[in-house]
A and B are shown apart, each in its own frame.
Chain A
Amino acid sequence: MALRDTQIAVEVLETESDPNLRNTQVAVEVLETEANPNTRITQVAIEVLEVTNLMQVAQQFVQVISNNDPVNTIEVAQQFVQIISKNPVQTDVFTGSDGDPPDTSIWSVQSGTPVIDTNQLEFLVNSTTPEEKVKNKKVLAGDFEVYIDVDVDQEPAQDNWKFGLEAKKSPTEYFQVNREYDNVNFQDVVIRTANGGAETVYRVSDNPSSTKLKIKKEGNTFKGWYWDGTQFVQIGSDVTVGLTPDQFWIQMVAETKNNEAQLRILVDKFTVLSGYFADAFLQNVYLTIIEG
């Protein structure tokens, strides 16, 4: 008879006078408070409940009140439009295929063939085409603010050329903000304005190749600015053109004289920030006031 032993296990009861202590984490927790805790603001959203067609509402408003008080109609209407027009009245960023004319619902080409080029409006003037001009199809009324974003792409240092934004009532009543060159004053940012008489000129000696030109009308006072790369700089003084209720055509004009080399201007954006377009109805109101 055999004795089978399939396992011999020796169990030892032991202890250590110096057992290992393992430490796998030391965490220092700090209880703190702030007398002046930071307040983080990641979004300020102002929600406006608005009607779908602000201008239509404004015009209806004018119509209603003009029946009773035509003298104050325009002034009140302007205030109303200013208050409710949180968005630009009109914007054109000149999208389209290269070679297209500017949006025909907005612009009327007065001279030359300004065209869309890489989503900019290109003005190209030289000895062959001395002038290119576009005029907004709608006449602008009330207090208004208009500006354009401009890149002067090619500018000959020859006498003389200019490009600018113009608010024009008549050939002798206008307000222009231009980039210009002539052989006396060289490169300037210029206001040219007239109020039924001789032209007045204000100059700032600067030649930003990428700038904004801005016109603002309050009553019959006009102001003009250009963007110097950091801020808007007012050119010259406030001037008076026309009467408070007058309406103005908005134009962009490039011109060169004396067989100059080519001037190339690219307009990135046109914005009517405030004001309102006077349609036939409002023109009737205006005429009522004048007659009154």
Chain B
Amino acid sequence: MTLLFIDGFDHYANSAQMRDCDYVIGSSPNFVVSSSYARFTGLGVKGDEYSGYAIKDLGVNKSTLYFGAAIKKQGAGIPTLSSTNCFLEFQDESNVDQVRLTVNPDYGINAYQGDNTLLGSSANNVIRNQRWEYFEVKVIISATVGEVTARVNGVQVLNLTSQDTKNGSDYIRKFRLSYIYGADPMYFDDLYVDDAQFHGDCRIRVFMPDSISTTNNSFTASAGNKDDCVNEIGSNEDTDYIYSDTLNHKQGFGITTGTLGTVKGIQVKQHCRLDEAGSRKIKALCRSNSTDYTGTETDFITSDWHFETEIWETDPDDSSAWTQTKLEAAEFGLEITT
């Protein structure tokens, strides 16, 4: 039904800052954000060693999940078989592993239920050394009609149906990115999570504000121009920011995307916090075709820097796909709604 989350990892200052986006990072030195791990441009992430992992809480329980990401087995070593050290895991809301995926010594994919039961294996040599592959997997949690279907570069390599994939609750709440057992790091980039469909090989690019809305322009800059306060790739937090203490204040910004492919959806992220005690909630703002549209209201904003996200798969003004023209004509930002 919907795209739940996307991450190109391009706007984080470091892996520690991913914690502001509801990731649990095992060890910052072993789970790293860097341009060295990007598939095309920008940044990507690397999981290395046992402690090099990131667990993302999607904030919603789903019994069916579609996951896609560009992955790269960076090392040239032969993987060591393990049912517990996996490059990708799906967990329920209680951190119980439901389904795990590994690269086996024959460079195939092994799928395990969370209790270490092998559900099935792909053919050999579907993952190559030191090559980016676009990996997608569909997981259905069920004790009787569970499913694990995987694709590499659009080609189905695993089709496991009528499986017992339930090791905890009926849901997936989190995914876990890590490494390939045998000390091979795994790179990740261009990641999506959906609850209804595969998207195929996708790319995620991030665009930062480069102009200020003249309609929605109520916030104050801590220094300099407002768009310059919120456009750092690698959020600089309290170094510069925009702020407001007034209910219903809105602030919008324009972006310049240049030529785009087929846009599957956009995600607006705000890195924000309260600097005084009190209760505030916000909504992401999208102004399209001279009309303001807002997203879902957030939880209470706290004093911690946190990324609030909103996805618009299509232009809310006409419910059709985003294009370069639409995105460059639109404005994005936030509104204080509580």
Contacts and interface: CB of A to CB of B under 8 A. Distances in A.
B181 to A, nearest CB: 30
Contacts of B23: none
A30 B257 contact: yes
B261 A32 contact: yes
Interface residues of B, number: 71
B299 interface: no
Contacts of B240: 24
A18 B245 contact: yes
A26 interface: yes
A34 B244 CA distance: 40
Contacts of B192: 31
A30 B327 CA distance: 10
Contact of A16 (B267, B278, B305): B278
Given A30-B257, A32-B264, A33-B262, A21 B206 contact: no
B11 A27 contact: yes
A119 B207 CA distance: 55
B188 to A, nearest CB: 15
Given A33-B200, A35-B262, A23 B332 contact: no
A52 interface: no
Given A18-B247, A30-B204, A23 B261 contact: no
A269 B239 CA distance: 63
Contacts of A35: 261-262
B244 A21 contact: yes
Q: By CB atoms of chain A within 10 A, which of B192, B236, B245, B247 has the most?
A: B245
Interface in A72-87: none
Interface string B202-218: 11111111000000000
Contacts of A19: 245, 274-280
Interface in B218-256: 219, 222, 229-232, 235-247, 251, 253, 255
A30 B8 CA distance: 9
Contact of B334 (A20, A26, A28, A29): A26
Contacts of A33: 199-203, 261-262, 264
Contact of B241 (A16, A23, A29, A30): A23
B336 interface: yes
Contacts of A231: none
A21 B336 contact: yes
Contact of B260 (A17, A30, A37): A30
Contacts of B7: 29
A157 to B, nearest CB: 57
A18 B244 CA distance: 9
Contacts of A27: 10-11, 206-208, 268-269, 271
Interface string A1-43: 0000000000000111111111111111111111101000000
B333 interface: yes
B270 interface: yes
B118 interface: no
A26 B334 CA distance: 9
B267 A31 contact: yes
A31 B278 contact: no
A28 B253 CA distance: 10
B6 interface: yes
B272 interface: yes
A130 B228 CA distance: 77
Interface in B165-211: 192, 199-209
B265 interface: yes
Interface of B: 3, 6-8, 10-11, 192, 199-209, 219, 222, 229-232, 235-247, 251, 253, 255, 257, 260-280, 282, 301, 305, 322, 327, 332-334, 336
In the A-B complex, the 10 residue pairs with the closest CB atoms: A19-B278, A25-B271, A16-B278, A34-B261, A19-B276, A24-B241, A25-B235, A18-B245, A32-B261, A23-B272
